[in-house]
């Protein structure tokens, strides 16, 4: 009887608001075709190390696979990897996801990581675990696309695996997660909001975006029958009443979106998604009517900058006038636009930041319902870009506040330092001065108090109205500096920050 490999999949802790670990569910579905798998979710099992070791004690596993986005997930990934290495020294440890894709050599510099899977992992991980279950033949390892590993102490990068468009018959094994109610959250969309990802990848290659590095401009939409089956399961079997789509770019080409919008219209589940200004502006009136029927409540739109030159530099592919136009368009069609901006670029840092403040004010004037999320612009290192893009559009060398070249971490442990977690999360950058950092904090404090997000379901309505009134004079007169009274009020009200907590 052939050996059926068994894999322990681990989702490192990253949030207090658990969402379905979609990447691990997809991996489990692929692994279970030829073996079996078990999932430990650190967002549910808060003592991740203990939960992982307890799972490993119950049965034999051929390998453990750990999915890592980066940022705050790196530290718990390291902790669980070290614990496995200590208690089960012969068990292969595999890292996959954005972090090992972007920082492969860094990942394999750690003694507690044996293999790194780059890009999409479903086929690569299944092949790897199968080979490991048969003894780990080196020639077989060398044939696995998208795998990086060590041979005689040297790091080997196998050729990339071609982009996989997904299996229309794939069924996600939600039953592996236990009680689904733990993953259905109360949000501004509904009382039982689920997360889902229909399409993967993005045609665009923004210089700060891990999606571009992960997929290299490739994208794939799901067959309509699979989307309807999966959403129907979430609604009718699990009781979800609304959806957060984690698609990298839900609105792409209009002709491709119509069948998906028709499904959403039939299901009548309010939803949120990522979108692009240029794509929304191209939609016909008939499609916008379908958008209305589908109950789209909010679209997250990457505006990034009011500077056309800056947008060209970061390869965004949109223009500032399109951002202003889509704010009006969304208002007309009853959709809340949630605009994100990248502040403090490494060149013309203060000037670009102040221009962005004024552009945000113009957006709020055009459509006061517009939601605003601000980040710090932190581009990927040249070596982290997709192989198709490396060296083609090199940016100016990144310099820190002292004019020295920015040196990125060379080990996963270094990435757990606060300054690098902040860099990965677009929360801080080495070229920011304390003065500008404070200026950004003050502006954002005044802005979010003047216009509390509709996504804040926790703060009482009277409290949000009071904070808005308190901040109005500062906002009106551009008196952002040292909003001490708003800081004090926030200690009691604690307005929600979508860029930290998510939708």
Q: In what order do the strands lie in the sheet with 296-304?
A: 193-196, 242-245, 271-275, 296-304, 336-343, 371-376
Residues of the chain with CATH 3.40.50.2300: 6-157
- Distance between start and end Cα atoms, the chain: 48
Indicate whether 411 pLDDT > 90: yes
| Token pair listed for 269 | 């589940």
Quick one: angle between helices 224-232 and 254-267, nearest 10?
30
Residues of the chain with CATH 3.20.20.70: 184-396
| Token pair listed for 64 | 């453990």
Residue 123 to residue 164: CA distance in whole angstroms: 9
Please give the mean pLDDT across all residues of the chain. Answer: 91
Please tell me the CATH code under which domain 6-157 is placed. 3.40.50.2300
| Token pair listed for 435 | 């003065």
pLDDT given at position 501: 44
Residue 67 to residue 121: CA distance in whole angstroms: 10
pLDDT given at position 361: 98
Residue 34 to residue 438: CA distance in whole angstroms: 54
pLDDT given at position 395: 72
Let me know: does 127 contact 144? Beta carbons within 8 Å.
Answer: yes
User: 29 or 2: which carries more pLDDT confidence?
Assistant: 29
Q: E-strand spans in 398-476?
A: none
- Whole-model pTM: value is 0.93
Let me know: does 281 contact 322? Beta carbons within 8 Å.
Answer: yes
Let me know: does 251 contact 203? Beta carbons within 8 Å.
Answer: no
Residue 330 to residue 336: CA distance in whole angstroms: 6
Indicate whether 14 pLDDT > 90: no
Q: How confident is the model at residue 499 (pLDDT cuts 50, 70, 90)?
A: low
Indicate whether 1 pLDDT > 60: no
Question: What are the tens digits of pLDDT across the range 395-408?
Answer: 778 999 999 999 99
Question: What are the tens digits of pLDDT across the range 430-487?
Answer: 999 999 999 999 999 999 999 999 998 888 899 889 999 999 999 999 999 999 999 9
Let me know: does 371 contact 498? Beta carbons within 8 Å.
Answer: yes
Indicate whether 169 pLDDT > 90: no
The torsion defined by the Cα of 289, 294, 297 and 300, in degrees rounded to 10, comes to: -90
Q: What is the DSSP string of 135-149?
A: T--HHHHHT-TTEEE
pLDDT given at position 224: 86
Q: How confident is the model at residue 79 (pLDDT cuts 50, 70, 90)?
A: very high
| Token pair listed for 48 | 């991740």
| Token pair listed for 359 | 């552009």
Residue 437 to residue 376: CA distance in whole angstroms: 10
Residue 204: name the closest of 247, 252, 254 by CA: 252
Question: What are the tens digits of pLDDT across the range 211-263?
Answer: 777 787 778 777 888 899 999 999 999 999 999 999 877 777 888 889 999 99
* Residues 184-396, CATH architecture: Alpha-Beta Barrel (3.20)
DSSP-assigned letter for residue 46: S
Let me know: does 184 contact 240? Beta carbons within 8 Å.
Answer: yes
**Rg of the chain taking only CA atoms, in angstroms:** 23
* Burial (CB count within 10 angstroms: exposed 0-12, middle 13-18, buried 19+), residue 229: middle
| Token pair listed for 301 | 């739109």
Indicate whether 71 pLDDT > 60: yes
Question: What are the tens digits of pLDDT across the range 285-343?
Answer: 999 999 999 999 999 999 999 999 999 888 888 999 999 999 999 999 999 999 999 99
DSSP-assigned letter for residue 66: E
Let me know: does 176 contact 37? Beta carbons within 8 Å.
Answer: yes
């Amino acid at each position: 009887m052939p050996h059926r490999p068994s894999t322990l999949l681990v989702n490192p802790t990253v949030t207090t608001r658990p969402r379905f670990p979609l990447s691990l569910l997809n991996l489990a579905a692929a692994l279970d075709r030829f073996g079996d798998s078990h999932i430990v979710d650190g967002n549910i099992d808060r003592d991740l190390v203990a939960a992982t070791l307890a799972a490993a004690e119950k049965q034999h596993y051929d390998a453990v696979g750990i999915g890592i986005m980066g940022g705050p997930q790196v530290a718990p990934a390291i902790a669980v990897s070290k614990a496995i290495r200590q208690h089960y020294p012969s068990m292969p440890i595999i890292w996959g996801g954005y972090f090992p894709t972007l920082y492969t050599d860094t990942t394999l510099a750690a003694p507690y990581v044996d293999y790194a899977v780059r890009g999409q992992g479903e086929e690569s991980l299944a092949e790897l675990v199968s080979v490991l279950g048969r003894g780990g033949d080196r020639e077989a390892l060398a044939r696995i696309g998208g795998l990086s590993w060590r041979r005689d102490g040297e790091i080997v990068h196998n050729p990339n695996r071609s982009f996989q468009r997904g299996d229309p018959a794939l069924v996600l094994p939600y039953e592996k997660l236990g009680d689904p109610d733990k993953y259905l959250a109360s949000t501004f969309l509904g009382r039982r909001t689920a997360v889902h990802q229909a399409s993967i990848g993005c045609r665009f290659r923004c210089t700060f975006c891990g999606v571009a590095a992960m997929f290299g401009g490739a994208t794939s939409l799901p067959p309509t029958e699979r989307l309807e089956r999966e959403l129907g399961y979430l609604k009718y079997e699990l009781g979800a009443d609304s959806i957060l789509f984690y698609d990298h770019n839900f609105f792409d080409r209009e002709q491709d979106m119509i069948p998906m919008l028709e499904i959403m219209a039939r299901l009548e589940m309010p939803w949120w998604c990522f979108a692009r200004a240029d794509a929304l502006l191209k939609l016909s009136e008939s499609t916008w009517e379908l958008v209305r029927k589908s109950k789209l409540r909010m679209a997250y739109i990457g505006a990034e900058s009011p500077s056309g030159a800056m947008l060209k530099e970061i390869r965004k592919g949109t223009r500032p006038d399109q951002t202003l136009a889509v704010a009006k368009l969304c208002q007309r069609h009853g959709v809340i636009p949630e605009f994100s901006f990248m502040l403090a670029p490494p060149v013309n840092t203060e000037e670009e930041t102040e221009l962005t403040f004024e552009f945000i004010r113009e957006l709020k004037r055009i459509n006061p319902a517009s939601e605003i999320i601000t980040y710090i612009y932190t581009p990927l290192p040249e070596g982290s870009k997709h192989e198709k893009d490396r060296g083609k559009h090199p940016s100016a060398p990144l310099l820190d506040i002292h004019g020295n070249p920015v040196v990125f971490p060379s080990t996963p442990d270094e990435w757990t330092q606060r300054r690098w977690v902040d860099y990965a999360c677009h929360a801080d950058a080495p070229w920011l001065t304390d003065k500008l950092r404070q200026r950004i904090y003050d502006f954002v404090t005044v802005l979010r108090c003047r216009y509390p997000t509709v996504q804040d379901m926790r703060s009482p309505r009277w409290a949000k109205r009071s904070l808005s009134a308190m901040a109005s004079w500062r906002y009106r007169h551009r008196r952002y500096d040292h909003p001490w009274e708003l800081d004090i009020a926030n200690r009691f009200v604690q307005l929600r920050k979508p860029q930290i907590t998510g939708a």
